[in-house]
Amino acid sequence: MKFTSTLVAAAGLLASPALAAPYAQLQTRNTTSSSSTVEQPVLNVTYTSPVNSSLPNVVIFATGGTIAGSSASNTDTTKYTAGVVGIEALVQAVPNILNVTNVVGSQVANTGSVNINSTIILRMAKLANGILCAENSTTDGLVITHGTDTLEETAFFMDMTVNCKSPVVVVGAMRPSTAISADGPANLLEAVTVAVSPAARNRGAMIVLNDRIGQATYTSKTNANSLDTFQAIEQGYIGGFLSNKPFFYYPASQPTFKNKFDVTNITELPQVDVLISYQNFDAALIPAAVKAGAKGIVIGGTGAGSTTDVAQPYIEAALAAGIPIVLSSKTNGGAVPPSGSGAISSGFLNPVKSRLQLQLALATGMGMEEIRGLFEDKLAGYLEA
């Protein structure tokens, strides 16, 4: 009786105008604001160090995040304001940087990484290609300072879209600049040291934190709080530091089956949403996502892309409507092997990385079967050989 009356009360609340109005607003997204198209961006230089012609040159894109964060208390590592310290202050806090390299800095954004979005990463990829990959480039490497929460997403996006020998190094910090043992200054020094190191060439984008170098495709944030959060559990680190000099364990190589994209003609990335599977997952949010503008969906499956039986009709309906569905794994490890039909398998890409690859595939005009080929063919060929 009590349960029934609670349900009745809840139903009444949902029907009340107070909840219905904002809910109605949320049914469509603000996807088509003109500020989200990226044409040919111009580098807005906000900091230039003194130039020493015998040193290499690095460009730093500062985006905010904990590495530029500040707190009123030096023991507080959770409640702080991300992105209050500008690029000049970041470099000045680590004068050793100017003994390693000349620096040109651009404040590309100033926000915690949860608010870094597809407009900002597309702009950075276009700028990076102009700065690093032009024939007359005098820049040895690019460093992006970034909040850690979505750092792996930006790093993987740069790995797919910036493909010349010069490296992109994405760096962050777990402790704000005002904390005891703040990790940002050392991380930043290590990141610029990697970016200008001849040994770092031809390795794609890398993530540098906590004295370690990880390849962007495989490295993820694995712990919400600790300094050693960035790891590639299976693939490991590609290098570390000895007396602040980067040391790579193997000669330069790139991830197996890496896909490269040219962003020159891409002006925006389509909306792709990520859902995860669990007991009772029924995928009813797929049509809701499509209604709200999603052009593709990634499902973080419970194992190797597994989802419930009741989710299947929604997945099949979306595929039939031309919406690609990619099955990845919410375990963030292992691979979803190629399926050849139905939903598309992610291979070794985790859900958020599958999303970025799907966005680029859609943005370059690929259709369903081309997208399946992109995600599945190389691994399928390997398994069949």
List interacting residues with ligand NAG (CB under 6 A). 25-26, 30, 33, 35-36, 44, 46, 52, 54-55, 95-96, 99, 107, 117-120, 134, 136, 138, 262, 264-265
- What does the alpha-carbon distance between residue 210 and residue 185 come to, in Å, rounded to a whole number? 11
DSSP characters for 58-117?
EEEEE--SGGG-B-SSTT-SSS-BTT-S-HHHHHHT-TTHHHH-EEEEEE---S-GGG--
CA 127 to chain centroid:
17
Of 73 and 96, nearer to ligand NAG (C-beta) is 96
Residue 304: half-sphere exposure toward Cβ, Cα within 13 Å: 7
Query: Shortest approach of ligand NAG to residue 144 CB, angstroms?
Result: 16
| 270/373 with CB nearer ligand NAG | 270
Question: For residues 240 and 212, is the Cβ–Cβ distance under 8 A?
Answer: yes
Pairing of strands 102-107, 141-145: unpaired
Distances (CA, A) of 121 to 40, 347, 356: 13, 23, 10
Can you tell me the distance from the alpha carbon of 376 to that of 338, in angstroms, rounded to the nearest whole number?
A: 5
Catalytic residue among 63, 66, 77, 193: 66
DSSP, residue by residue, 130-154 = HHHHSTT----EEEEE--STTHHHH
Active site residue 148: yes
Q: Please enumerate, by residue number, every residue annotated as part of a binding site.
A: 113, 148-149
CB of 30 to ligand NAG, least distance (A): 4
Beta carbon nearer to ligand NAG, 44 or 341 = 44
To the nearest whole angstrom, how small is the minimum distance from the Cβ of residue 302 to ligand NAG? 30
Rounded to the nearest whole angstrom, what is the least distance from the CB of residue 43 to ligand NAG in the complex? 10
Closer Cβ to ligand NAG, 33 or 280, answer by number: 33
Whichever of 12 and 365 has its CB closer to ligand NAG, that residue is 365
Cβ contact 186:140 at 8 Å: no
Number of helical H runs and strand E runs in the chain: 11, 15
* Residue with Cβ nearer ligand NAG (31 or 73): 31
Closest by Cα among 167, 170, 192, 168 to 94: 192
At 332, list the tokens.
Answer: 């963030």
- Rounded CA separation 86/67 (Å): 10
CB of 303 to ligand NAG, least distance (A): 32
57 sits in which H/E element: strand 57-62
CB of 105 to ligand NAG, least distance (A): 10
Q: Identify the H or E element spanning 383.
A: helix 368-384
Given 63, 77, 139, 148, the catalytic residue: 148
Q: Do 354 and 259 form a contact (C-beta atoms < 8 A)?
A: no
136 vs 279, beta carbon nearer ligand NAG: 136
Known binding-site positions for substrate: 113, 148-149
Rounded to the nearest whole angstrom, what is the least distance from the CB of residue 70 to ligand NAG in the complex? Answer: 17
Task: Select from 314, 326, 315 the least CA-distant residue to 362.
Answer: 326
Report the catalytic residues: 66, 148
